Chain A
Amino acid sequence: EAGVAQSPRYKIIEKRQSVAFWCNPISGHATLYWYQQILGQGPKLLIQFQNNGVVDDSQLPKDRFSAERLKGVDSTLKIQPAKLEDSAVYLCASSPGQGGYNEQFFGPGTRLTVL
Chain B
Amino acid sequence: AQSVTQLGSHVSVSEGALVLLRCNYSSSVPPYLFWYVQYPNQGLQLLLKYTSAATLVKGINGFEAEFKKSETSFHLTKPSAHMSDAAEYFCAVSDPAAGNKLTFGGGTRVLVKP
A contact set with B: CB distance below 8 Å: 4, 33, 40-45, 48, 55-56, 91, 93, 98-101, 103-109
Chain B residues in 8 Å Cβ range of A109: 42-43
With both beta carbons as reference points, the residue of chain A lying nearest to B90 in the complex is identified as A42
Chain B residues in 8 Å Cβ range of A108: 41-43
Secondary structure call for the A interface: loop
B96 interface contact, C-beta 8 A: yes
B contact set with A: CB distance below 8 Å: 4, 9, 31-32, 34, 36, 41-46, 49, 51, 90, 92, 94-96, 99-107
Chain B residues in 8 Å Cβ range of A45: 101-103
CA distance A104 to B90 in the complex (A): 13
Shortest B95–chain A CB gap in Å is 7
Chain B residues in 8 Å Cβ range of A107: 43
CA distance A105 to B99 in the complex (A): 19
B99 partner, pick from A41, A43, A55, beta carbons under 8 A? A55
